[in-house]
């Protein structure tokens, strides 16, 4: 298992980690058939989406903020219930197929760490199987 250490900069943001995961796949994926990308945090997520137009990242964050605003009457004392809900909506992991150490993604797809309670230090765990 490998760890990508990240520092996020905003409360809500999507950070493209495709290049870092691709490098690990080239170096360690070998004859494996898939790559697991997992985030062990409850207020962050991992997602695959378009990485060609940066407006897509903005639209995803804006859409999630509309679905789950941070000003609702949540019971969780820490004040970050919106982050927990957004992270649950996107999920903690993605499995990406590999072929000869290369990630098999669509033409416009990228892998993102989705931050909803930043800025924070985050770890993204990568495993090949």
pLDDT in tens, the chain (129 residues): 999 999 999 999 999 999 999 999 999 999 999 999 999 999 999 999 999 999 999 999 999 999 999 888 898 989 899 999 999 999 999 999 999 999 999 999 999 999 999 999 999 999 999
Asked: is 9-118 a CATH 2.60.120.460 domain? The reply is yes
Q: For 101, phi and psi rounded to 5 degrees? A: 75, 15
Distance of alpha carbon 38 from alpha carbon 91, whole angstroms: 9
The pLDDT score that the predictor gives to residue 92 is 98
The greatest distance separating any two alpha carbons of the chain, rounded to the nearest whole angstrom, comes to 50
The pLDDT score that the predictor gives to residue 75 is 87
Tell me the whole-structure pTM to 2 decimals: 0.95
Distance of alpha carbon 110 from alpha carbon 64, whole angstroms: 19
Q: For residue 61, what are its two tokens? A: 């964050």
Q: For residue 6, what are its two tokens? A: 């990240």
Q: Where are the domains positioned within the chain? A: 9-118
DSSP 33: S
């Amino acid at each position: 298992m490998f760890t990508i250490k990240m520092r996020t900069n905003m409360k809500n943001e999507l950070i493209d980690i495709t290049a870092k995961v691709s490098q690990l796949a080239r170096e360690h994926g070998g004859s494996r058939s898939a790559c697991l990308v997992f985030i062990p945090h409850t207020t962050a997520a991992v997602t695959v989406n378009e990485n060609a137009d940066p407006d897509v990242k903005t639209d995803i964050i804006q859409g999630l903020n509309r679905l789950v605003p941070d000003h609702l009457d949540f019971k969780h004392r820490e004040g970050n219930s919106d982050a927990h809900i957004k992270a649950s909506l996107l999920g903690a992991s993605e499995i990406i197929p590999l072929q000869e150490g290369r990630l098999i993604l669509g033409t416009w797809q990228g892998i993102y760490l989705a931050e909803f309670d930043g800025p924070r230090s985050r770890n993204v765990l990568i495993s090949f199987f």
